[in-house]
A and B are shown apart, each in its own frame.
Chain A
C-alpha cells in the first residue's frame, strides 16, 4: 500500500510499504477514506519529538471502511464506516474505567512503554503514528491501518454524514471540546485562547457552546483570526498588541477567568523569553518553548483555570511557578480522552449544533501529502487544515 512515511526533519515521503494484517484478536483493518494532518504532526515534522525512526508511517486523524475484523471483534462488521480515535485504549484497565483513555495502562507495548516511563515517571497510552514513545504504531496517513482494541475506539458513523463532517472526531474536535471542558466555564466567564489553529478554533467554538460570555482569540495570522471572529470570538494579534495589557483592559482589570494554551511547544514570535528558549533549545538545554504557557499563566485571573491542550514533550525553563502558586490557579491538561466524547459530539454534529468543516482549507490526494505538510507548516495563514484522500489522483 501507499503511506506517508517520516524520514527525518522536514522530510516526509509517500512510499510503498507492506499492507497491515490482523495480529491480535481485537484488531480490525480499515481502508482509509479520509485522513488529516494535525498540528501535532508538525512537531514530528520539525523533529521536536524524540524516538522517531526513519520509515515510520504518520497520521493519527483518520477514518474509513472496516475491511477485516479479528475473531475477538463482535460489534463491528466489514463494510461499516468508522472514525478512529487517535488514542489507543484497552477499555479494561483502571484508567479506562475512569474514562482516562490517554492514560490507558495496556495499549503501549511493554518494550516501547519504557521510554515514557523514564521520561514521565509513568507510561502513557499508545497513539497512532506518533513516535515510538507512544507505541510505534503505524499511522493513518495510509491506504490501510491496523486498529487494535477496535471494540473500544472506533465509532460507526451514519451514511448521511460526509467524511468531512465526522473526520475530526478522531482528534481535534474532542481536543477542542476537552480543552474548553477543562476551563470549567461559569456564567459570565471570559476565556482567552492562544492559537487559532484547528485545536484553538474548536476550543473557541466549544467554549461558546458551553456558555462562555466571551472568548478572546490570540494569534498572528489574519486568516486564522478571521475564522475565530467568524465563530464569535474577539481577536488579538500578538504581533501588534501587548497581550497581557490588552487582556487586562478587555476584562475590566480582572484578567480572563480561564485561559487555553492551544499552541504548545513550538510557540512563534520574538519576545525576549522566546528568543532565549530558542537558544536553549538549539543547545539542547531545553526541549520545549513555553512562551505561550508563561503568558497564559501571567494573564489568568486569580483563582482561575488554565487548560493546556497544546502538546509539550519534555522540559521547560523559567516556568512562572510563582504566578501559578500565588494566584491559586488550577491547571488541567493531557492528551485527549477521545473515546469519552465521541457519542455526544457525533450527536451534536448530526443535530448541526457543531460545524466541523469551516476550517478545511485544502483537500488533496494522499500522494501529495508531502506538499500538504509543507504548506501546513510554512503557509499557515492560508492553510488552516489539510485533509488527504487516499483514493484521489495526484495533482502534481
Chain B
C-alpha cells in the first residue's frame, strides 16, 4: 500500500512517527524491555507509575517511550484497528507505507530527512486478540526497534485504555549520528502525537487538521 493523503500536516522537513521506537539501534535490548510483562520494565519500590515516567534516568542502555490514551470504543474494535499495520500511515506521521508479507511479517517504509527512506521488516512476536500486540524489527536491519501495545477496558464504560510502549537505545557512533539527525523530534512527543491521531481516527473517523486544502501530490 502506498501512502494515502490522510490528514493534513505540512510535511516540510518534519520527521518521526511512532518513530524513535521504529528506529532504534540495539534490537536485543530493545525487544527485551518492551516485551517484559509489565510492558515497560520492572516495578520499582512502592508505586505504580510506569517506568517511562520516572524522573531518574532509566537504567540500562535502552530508552523506553510511550503513552497511554483512552479511546471511547470497545476493546475488540480498537485492537482490530491497530492489528491492521497497513493502516499505520493513516496516523503515523512519517511511516510512508506498511506492506503485509504474511500473517505476522510486514515491510515498513519510513521517511527520513531529505527524501530518504528506511525500510525494514517487522515481525509480530506476541498477539493476544483484544489484549496486546508486540512487534520487533527483524535482525539485520539498520534500524532495530520494537513496540508493544496493550488494551484494557476503561472504568465506567469509557472505552479502552491503550498503552503504547516503544524502546530504543540512545544512539552512539556513526549510526547514532544518522539516527539522531532523523529524530528532529523528541520520540516521546512523536509517540504521543501518533497515538492522539489514532484516537481521533477511531473516535471521529478522521484526523483533525487545520489545513484548508487536501495534501497535494507533491507534498506527499
Residues B188-220 near A (CB distance < 8 A):
189, 192-194, 196-197, 199-200, 203-214
Asked, given contacts A93-B72, A106-B199, A110-B196, whether A24 binds B206 with beta carbons under 8 Å apart, the answer is: yes
Quick one: which of B197, B204, B209 contacts A90, CB cutoff 8 A? Answer: B204
Considering the chains assembled together, what is the distance between the CA atoms of A109 and B159 in angstroms?
21
Would you call B68 an interface residue if the criterion is a C-beta within 8 Å of the partner chain's C-beta atoms?
A: no
Write out the residue numbers on chain A whose beta carbons fall within 8 Å of the beta carbon of B211.
23
Interface size of B by CB at 8 A reads 27
Point out the residues of chain A lying under 8 angstroms from B70, CB to CB: 94
Cross-chain contact of A92 among B8, B72, B212 (Cβ < 8 A): B72
Residues of A within 8 A of B9 (CB): 109, 111
Stretch at the interface among A130-138, A219-227, A366-374, A386-394: A130-138
B158 close to chain A: CB less than 8 A: yes
Contact of B193 among A24, A72, A107, A114 (CB under 8 A): A114
Quick check: A138 and B210 within 8 Å, CB to CB? yes
> A25 contacts the other chain (Cβ, under 8 Å)?
yes
In the complex, A148 Cα to B206 Cα: how many Å?
A: 10
Residues of A within 8 A of B158 (CB): 94
- Select the residue from A18, A94, A107, A111 with max chain B CB neighbours within 10 A: A111
Structural contact, B210 and A110, CB atoms closer than 8 A: no
Find chain A residues with CB under 8 A from B192 CB: 110, 114
Chain B residues contacting A93 (CB-CB under 8 Å) are 72, 203-204
**Whose C-beta in chain A lies nearest to the C-beta of B9?**
A111
Interface check A233, CB cutoff 8 A: no
Complex CA gap A22/B215 in Å reads: 11
Collect the chain B residues with CB atoms within 8 Å of residue A146's CB.
212
Is A251 an interface residue, CB under 8 A from the partner? no
Given contacts A90-B204, A92-B203, A94-B72, contact A110 B193 (CB under 8 A): yes
**B189-A106 in contact (CB<8A):** no
Q: Is there contact, CB below 8 Å, between B213 and A92?
A: no
List the B side residues contacting A20 at CB < 8 Å.
212-213
Indicate whether A106 sits within 8 Å of B210 (C-beta atoms), given known contacts A111-B9, A114-B193.
no
| B208 proximity list for chain A (CB < 8 A) | 24, 90, 106-110, 126, 135, 148
Question: Contacts A92-B204, A93-B203, A106-B203: A24 and B209 contacting too (C-beta < 8 A)?
Answer: yes
Closest 9 CB pairs of A and B: A20-B212, A110-B193, A136-B210, A110-B196, A24-B206, A90-B204, A92-B203, A106-B200, A137-B210
Contacts A25-B205, A72-B206 aside, 8 further interface pairs with beta carbons under 8 A come to A20-B213, A23-B8, A23-B212, A72-B205, A106-B200, A109-B9, A109-B207, A114-B193
